[in-house]
Structure 1
Amino acid sequence: MVTVEIEATFERWQAAARALLSDGIAPEGVEWRERPGAPPAPRASKFFRVPPRFLELARQAAIAGDPGRWAALYDVLWRIVNERRDLLEDRAHPKVRRLHGLAAQGRREAERAEQQDVLRMEAEGGGAASFVPPGADLATLAAAAKRCQGCPLYRDATQTVFGRGPAQARVVLVGEQPGDQEDLRDAPFVGPAGEILDRALTEVHLDRATLYVTNAVKHFKFVMRGKRRIHQTPRLSEIAACRAWVEAELAVIKPETLVCLGATAARALLGDEFRLMRDRGRVFATRWAPRTLATLHPSAVLRGEDDAAQERLYRMLVDDLRLAAVAV
């Protein structure tokens, strides 16, 4: 029996698991223990390709408080590498069910922690609210936003990317956050997702020059991989911290139609109970606009697994945007 001591993080487990796989040690021969300050595992002699979906579930499961999670993760990993690469497709397999249960637990615990962060931030008067000048017009808001330090995202981003468009716009589009190109060019939706959005707007006869386009989060959140900046989804606390800016924009514009592009924008403005794929395309009144709806973020089209999936997602986006065009 090999005893493996790790700090309780996904990265430390991953390094140890890779070393165990390299040495050919099966799950039943490993005892996992958590120990703060435990040294990292030695560098593995081999690397192993596993489905991205496994890594996604494993990262979520690592957050769960279940002490058996490390052994369960290694058990599934061993089977994927040595027995069945398609193991995750068998949702009835007890090991796969266990993995999904741990991942769900991790997601719940992460969300509870984020909600506590939001409550703490609001109680302490944090976030962007103190940076927002009351009663300001869009130009004044945009200038003030450049100085915002309402959440840590400002530290790594190139700049604040504020909304663009006329103050008298009848339709407002709210996305998630700036991407790499948006961060560099100081304008929303000018990268690959922006190209998808422009094509869809043209198809439904909406002139982007007449729209106000902004994001729920004003700074680019990313992680470095080599020389590339890879998008990361904002945390609930970061969305809440930035909400004062988009609320101020909407208060100035008072649009007839508000379109939330993607789950982050919908969560920021429509609440946690809103479910994008369940509720998308439904038009209803909110305090922001008499006609409010949500649809896919254009980047979801780019993430489609093949041409057919991308076309299906694009059609969903177009169909929903057509509802916004009806009011113009």
Structure 2
Amino acid sequence: MRVIEVEHFEAWRAAARELLRDGVPAGDVDFCSPSTQKSLFGDESDDGGRALAAREAAARQRRGGVTVPPDFLKRARMVACHRDEHRWNLLYRVLWRLTTAEPNLLHVAFDDDVRRFDLMAKSVGRDAHKAQAFVRFRRIETEDGEQFVAWHRPDHRILRLVGPFFSRRFKSMRWTILTPDESASWDGAALTYGPGAPASAAPSADDLDEMWRSYYRSIFNPARIKLAMMRREMPVRYWAALPETQIIPEILAEAPARVAAMLKYGASGTRAVSAAEFLPEARDLESLARAAAGCRGCELCERATQTVFGRGPSTARLVLVGEQPGDQEDRHGEPFIGPAGEVLNHALVTAGLARDEVYLTNAVKHFHWEPRGKQRLHKKPPSRAISACRPWLEAEMTAVAPRVLVCLGVTAAQAVLGRDTRALKTRGVPFASEWCERTIITWHPAASLRARTDEERRRIARELAEHLRVAACA
């Protein structure tokens, strides 16, 4: 029986490659985590670091012909973050079966290994989403200037999984996220990892706390109080690190009066019929986003979780406009992060475009949906909502002043360019519009998800990438 110590996914992957090359069955190897706690960096000059690098280099030279489904690698990275001490053995057992006699193993949902593999991946995925939603940075002043520090207690060791997300989202900040197991730091150029720390190592409060409380108050809908759902989406164990939770008792107590005021406001016939009434005096993107959080320009705000405003730099030369946020976007407050967002990300990469260099938004800022069991299914926004939301889009276009505008789908094209726009005839062909000299209509990424055949799906994805490539060169 071979006993192999591994601490993270890449170390396991390197060892697994060599074991496969040597034909070692899953039953003949026992993976375990190191018995002593080490720095997550490790000492790059020590013998262990050199040995691991040498083994990987040798394995790259010797291996050949062994392939696994991309979905396995994606989910295996997540399983590697699980706290289950037997996760490494499970990963190798699934890998061994995939690469020997069961290439379709991942499709056998009732298999014990596959079921456990899927459950662990989903558990880590949920934990990673919670980290993305509930990490709250606090500002401190150091000798080197402004620094942001957050403390979070995840269920699993997910910091390496979510670290790249925060480095993209807060690219211009210098920040550190502390957890009991490990820490991650971003200096504006590189993401590094270090040992864990207790909650006392992070600042307890700062002036950003009031901003979070104001934001939470603005998006809280007193007519849709569901405490069970609130506790499920925002578990109590995270509350100590969330400044906005301090006002939950207060806003719950105010809810009946606020609902009465909302009913009176709607019955008086003075309800706002356009977002124009909510536009701030300052029209920069940051001011617009803050003001949009409280928009009640149409009825969609009543059922949506929050306003999903555009994201991207004000200096972006390229603006992409979609139809409306989806379920994941509504929950997390960021455009194009759900399944359609994954399609768009792939198309952007294929077109040679970086997501953080373009401005992404939607014609409608609230999620319009209909219930289907426990699911919330996308429903095309009504024309009155598109019209009511247009002032936000116009303000965004003015603030960014793009050189190229891309309309993703027919609804977006008609919302931006007018109802008589013929998207099917002009798709992929640049033309001049009132917003800029180069305007392009293309597929909405969700169209490929709704395709009836694989051939149609591939064609839509290919054309979307081609049209984005035209936009990149325009």
Unpaired segments ≥5 residues, structure 1:
1-123
Q: Secondary structure, in 3 states, of the residue corresponding to 1:213?
A: strand
Equivalent positions of 1:218-237 (< 5 A) are 218-237=365-384
> Which letter does structure 2 place at the counterpart of 1:152?
E
Q: Does 1:132 align with 2:252?
A: no
Q: Does 1:326 align with 2:464?
A: no
Aligned equivalents of 2:325 and 2:372: distance in 1? 18
The offset of 1:235, in angstroms, is 1.1
Tell me the equivalent position of 1:81. Answer: none
> Which letter does structure 1 place at the counterpart of 2:284?
D
The offset of 1:125, in angstroms, is 7.3
Aligned equivalents of 1:173 and 1:250: distance in 2? 10
Maintained 8 Å contact 1:276/1:296 = no
1:172 aligns with one of 300, 319, 334: 319
Aligned equivalents of 1:241 and 1:294: distance in 2? 22
Tell me the equivalent position of 1:277. Answer: 424
The offset of 1:282, in angstroms, is 1.7
Tell me the equivalent position of 1:266. Answer: 413
Tell me the equivalent position of 1:295. Answer: 442
Equivalent positions of 1:50-69 (< 5 A) are none
Q: Secondary structure, in 3 states, of the residue corresponding to 1:214?
A: strand
Q: Does 1:313 align with 2:460?
A: yes
Q: Does 1:156 align with 2:303?
A: yes
TM-score (norm 2): 0.42
2:363 aligns with one of 186, 206, 216: 216
The farther-off stretch of 136-145 and 269-278 is 269-278
Larger radius of gyration: 2
Maintained 8 Å contact 1:221/1:231 = yes
Maintained 8 Å contact 1:169/1:253 = yes
> Which letter does structure 2 place at the counterpart of 1:158?
T
The offset of 1:238, in angstroms, is 0.9
Maintained 8 Å contact 2:282/2:288 = no
Aligned equivalents of 1:323 and 1:132: distance in 2? 33
Maintained 8 Å contact 2:275/2:388 = yes
Higher relative contact order (CA 8 A, sep 6+): 1
Tell me the equivalent position of 2:160. Answer: none
Tell me the equivalent position of 2:86. Answer: none
Tell me the equivalent position of 1:239. Answer: 386
Maintained 8 Å contact 1:160/1:183 = yes
Q: Secondary structure, in 3 states, of the residue corresponding to 2:289?
A: helix
Q: Secondary structure, in 3 states, of the residue corresponding to 1:230?
A: strand
Tell me the equivalent position of 2:167. Answer: none
1:304 aligns with one of 451, 454, 464: 451
Tell me the equivalent position of 2:83. Answer: none
User: How far does the alpha carbon of each residue in 1:163-190 deviate from its partner, in whole angstroms, 9 at most, with x for none?
Assistant: 0000000000000000000001110000
Aligned equivalents of 2:349 and 2:462: distance in 1? 13
Maintained 8 Å contact 2:272/2:296 = no
Tell me the equivalent position of 2:112. Answer: none
TM-score (norm 1): 0.61
> Which letter does structure 1 place at the counterpart of 2:372?
R
User: How far does the alpha carbon of each residue in 1:116-174 deviate from its partner, in whole angstroms, 9 at most, with x for none?
Assistant: xxxxxxxx972111111244210000000000000000000000000000000000000
Aligned equivalents of 1:246 and 1:203: distance in 2? 27
Tell me the equivalent position of 2:292. Answer: 145
Q: Secondary structure, in 3 states, of the residue corresponding to 1:218?
A: coil
> Which letter does structure 2 place at the counterpart of 1:296?
W
Q: Secondary structure, in 3 states, of the residue corresponding to 2:406?
A: strand
The farther-off stretch of 172-181 and 270-279 is 270-279
The offset of 1:225, in angstroms, is 1.0
Q: Secondary structure, in 3 states, of the residue corresponding to 2:463?
A: helix
Maintained 8 Å contact 2:413/2:441 = yes
Question: How many residues matched?
Answer: 204
Q: Secondary structure, in 3 states, of the residue corresponding to 2:385?
A: helix
Maintained 8 Å contact 2:320/2:406 = yes
Tell me the equivalent position of 1:187. Answer: 334
Instruction: Report the identity percentage.
Output: 52
Q: Secondary structure, in 3 states, of the residue corresponding to 1:274?
A: coil
Q: Secondary structure, in 3 states, of the residue corresponding to 1:229?
A: strand
Aligned equivalents of 1:313 and 1:211: distance in 2? 21
Maintained 8 Å contact 1:284/1:291 = yes
Tell me the equivalent position of 1:204. Answer: 351
The farther-off stretch of 189-198 and 127-136 is 127-136
Aligned equivalents of 2:417 and 2:366: distance in 1? 21
Q: Secondary structure, in 3 states, of the residue corresponding to 2:468?
A: helix
Runs of 4+ in 1 over 6 A off after TM superposition: none
Aligned equivalents of 1:294 and 1:234: distance in 2? 19
> Which letter does structure 2 place at the counterpart of 1:269?
V
2:396 aligns with one of 222, 230, 249: 249
Maintained 8 Å contact 2:325/2:336 = yes
Aligned equivalents of 1:251 and 1:207: distance in 2? 22
